[in-house]
Amino acid sequence: MKLSIKVMHAFQGVAIRAAALGLSIAGCFLFSATALAQPGASILPIAASAPNAPDVAHPSPEAVAARIRELDAQKGEPGNRALPTIVMRRTGDGKQCTFTALDDMYVNFHNDEFGCDDNIYNTFEVVGAHEGMEIDIEGSPNCDGREVYARYIVSFGPGNGPIANIPPTSVAAASGIPAGQILNDGSGKRAFIANGFRSTGESLPNAVSCVRIKRLIPNGPYRYKNKESGLCLRSDVSRPYPATCTGPADFSFYELNDFVGSIISADSVTSPTQFRYLRIDTLPDVVILSTSYLGTGTYRYDTTTSWLKTILGKCATPSTIDNHVNVHDCQYDQGTRMQWTREALPVR
């Protein structure tokens, strides 16, 4: 049977706690290669040459595994937050399954290759839990809230976290508990805030069919320095362009721990409903920052090529004549002009 992993990127993005990031913010938290080579060349609409779009909302198990490996390879680098690992366990005989979670990812135990059996687990454990992350444990295989569930927000309390382990805890610890109430983990230590429950006549222990993870702490802050010009991409304008890195402008971005690796401006990181995504504007084919999410048109940083690129293979290269960044097919290699160095910045 196929592994059933779903990654559903909400248009509102990923909420995080300002404290978890260490932030101090009041109140929060077909064009030819010849044509491309010409400075300022216009670029035809992306749809003219775009390949079939991959399924960003429901990526294949292989694609998800590749994304997790990519993030795991960056463990220990400045600005990186390791992904949490979830351990589901049946206490009677110790039977368990383990999986690593991407942001807004759910694992369907009803049809799963992790060895996560359906309807048997009564405890969960989190290795490397993120402050503010949400954990939904449900009886519905698609985590759609139609059956019994218990939901949690990780909250370690003052002086703890932002990343820590949570020992085995009953999957039903939030059942019957009003949303907003502080909860302890299985060892009796504060670890959660209750985030809702539903009772349908069946008990959640031994009825778990799905676990969904949301609101992981993003990686960063980073700046992106163009390898040819040495200029840094601005994050404080609607049409970002490279400028002197030491100037008064802002050059700070975060990367979400989601399937895409979405880049957002640092000034929007504490406002999940107003995340400003680095993405394509198809008319006139330039890079913009927008609160409108576009899965296949949102930029990520490719550590292998040093490109800012989309899943569809659209790269970002600074214009030689105007203050904007052009969108073009990555196959038209522009050398160092389309390469960016990702540099970690201190958290402000």
Q: Is residue 193 part of a domain?
A: yes
Domain endpoint, select from 157, 182, 214: 214
Same domain flag for 127 and 246: no
Q: Is residue 76 part of a domain?
A: no
Same domain flag for 205 and 222: no
Same domain flag for 180 and 296: no
Q: What is the pLDDT of residue 26?
A: 32
Count the Cβ atoms, other than its own, within 10 Å of residue 239.
14
Q: Say how many Å lie between the first and final Cα of the chain, rounded.
A: 47
Per-residue pLDDT for 129 more than 80? yes
Same domain flag for 131 and 245: no
Same domain flag for 94 and 232: no
Q: Is residue 59 part of a domain?
A: no
What are the φ/ψ torsions at residue 123 (nearest 5 degrees)?
-135, 160
Q: Is residue 26 part of a domain?
A: no
Same domain flag for 10 and 135: yes
Q: Is residue 199 part of a domain?
A: yes
For 329-340, the pLDDT digits (tens) are: 999 888 999 999
Q: What is the pLDDT of residue 56?
A: 65
Same domain flag for 183 and 233: no
Q: What is the pLDDT of residue 273?
A: 82
What's the rounded Cα separation, in Å, for the pair 242 and 315?
A: 15
The pTM of this model reads 0.83
Count the Cβ atoms, other than its own, within 10 Å of residue 196.
16
Going by pLDDT thresholds of 50, 70 and 90, the confidence category of residue 239 is very high
Higher pLDDT, 134 or 21: 134
CATH code where residue 309 lies: 2.80.10.50
The residues, ordered by sequence, that sit 6+ positions from 189 with a Cβ below 8 Å of its Cβ are none
Structural domains counted in the chain:
2
For 296-320, the pLDDT digits (tens) are: 999 999 999 999 999 999 999 999 8
Same domain flag for 126 and 226: no
Same domain flag for 136 and 230: no
Q: Are 303 and 282 in contact (CB under 8 A)?
A: no
Measured between alpha carbons, how far is residue 131 from residues 126, 128, 281 in Å?
A: 12, 10, 34
Which stretch, 41-45, 172-176, 344-348, has highest mean pLDDT?
172-176
Same domain flag for 178 and 237: no
Residue range(s) defining the domain that contains residue 289: 33-54+218-344
Higher pLDDT, 114 or 158: 158
Domain endpoint, select from 214, 242, 274: 214
Same domain flag for 173 and 321: no
Same domain flag for 326 and 244: yes
Domain endpoint, select from 184, 214, 244: 214
